[in-house]
A = this chain, B = another copy of it.
Amino acid sequence: MPVNLTAPDPASLLPVAGLELGTAQAGIRKANRRDVLLARLAPGTTAAGVFTRNRFCAAPVQICREHLALNQGVRALVVNTGNANAGTGAQGLSAARDTCAAVARLMGCEPSQVLPFSTGVILEQLPVDRLVAGLPQALADLKPANWAQAAEAIMTTDTLPKAFSRRVQVGGAQAVVTGMSKGAGMIRPNMGTMLGFVATDAAVPQELLQQWVREAADASFNRITIDGDTSTNDSFVLLATGAGGMRVDSAASAQGQALREAIVEVARLLAQAIVRDGEGATKFITVQIEGAGNAREADAVAYAIAHSPLIKTAFFASDPNLGRILCAIGYAGIDDLDQTKIDLYLGDVHVARQGGRHPDYLEEDGQRVMKEAEITVRAVLNRGSAATTVWTCDLSHDYVSINADYRS
């Protein structure tokens, strides 16, 4: 049961001029399931991406990086679910290249103008023939209004599609920002979620788009974790078709600021949606660290808390076993941490002061907060002024069930 997340109302998803989406049932892993997504982009579209830092990155991630580096423009995206095309060696790279070539033939563009994405099982060869055979169906389905269908086609263990839109208006110019994401497990994006796409019909220069994709990732997909496993396939791509009326020349302009804000907001909603739909999730947890000596410390403490199976099972049980949080702060790797300076809050409840149980802390107050579906943990280290926020979920029986049975 996702935490405070529902399927997007298709009417709420604004088409992005210059971007059409089409899906197909290619039978990549299972029959009768839309498992291929094709996106056609108007000439002149700029694109920028950030990708997994996993050194065992999938073949399509390698090809995406290569094609973006060539900087010959992006005219199409192709996404398949059911197979990650990771751990597939040279054959996997060929499969990804063959996929791009097939899309290029259908679209009338260069293979290097196609970005491929895969998600699903690792260590099995991509059935590229079936994928290619499904492309004409996706091509025939291309429509700007297909965001809801597209968001559904890229799901794996997701229980709900994830997509959001924002409209930006500055003076007389309008722009649309619409995005979708997928992912529910193997999520500790150091980079993007498993897959995230955000598009705008504004015109944005390549360099600015590259800056924004990093900033948006750092404020969204890089701030979430479900199980600490950084996937082989994480990809987050930002697209600007330029087919709408807004032209952004600099980040500092009024239009630039407004558009950037909308892009970051959509990315953050998409990232949080992944946590809300995390495998087996019953709680949405916000971990805030304040007073850290530097950003690295703040992140280390936040992720130690967000990754601890002991803390995550306590959230699942609504058990205010909060010593486990102090324990995680202690092993986060700050060598000169002074435990007697630490404050811990659960929601509005002051749990620990100077590293010890607050004299006024009552178990029933902790219990009250733990029963909520959205919980904020706040730790103040009193070492400096760095702060961070990370979003995660609890660890439930269903997480084990889902991952024990994923391939069956």
Contacts and interface: CB of A to CB of B under 8 A. Distances in A.
Interface of A: 52-57, 84, 86-92, 121-125, 185-186, 188, 190, 227-232, 307-310, 313-314, 316-317, 319, 321-324, 326-331, 334-335, 337-340, 342, 351-352, 354-357, 395-397, 399-401, 403-408
B357 A313 contact: no
A319 B408 contact: yes
A355 B123 contact: no
A90 B356 contact: yes
Given A319-B408, A408-B319, A403 B330 contact: no
A327 B54 contact: yes
Contact of A317 (B231, B316, B404): B404
Interface majority SS (helix, strand, loop, mixed), chain A: loop
Nearest to A355: B89
Nearest to A335: B55
A326 B87 contact: yes
B186 A310 contact: yes
Contacts of A231: 327
A310 B185 contact: yes
- For A53, A190, A404, the residue with the greatest tally of chain B CB atoms inside 10 Å of its CB is A404
Contacts of A321: 121-122, 406-407
A323 B121 contact: yes
A120 to B, nearest CB: 10
A351 B87 CA distance: 11
Contacts of A356: 87-92
A309 B403 CA distance: 9
A322 B307 CA distance: 22
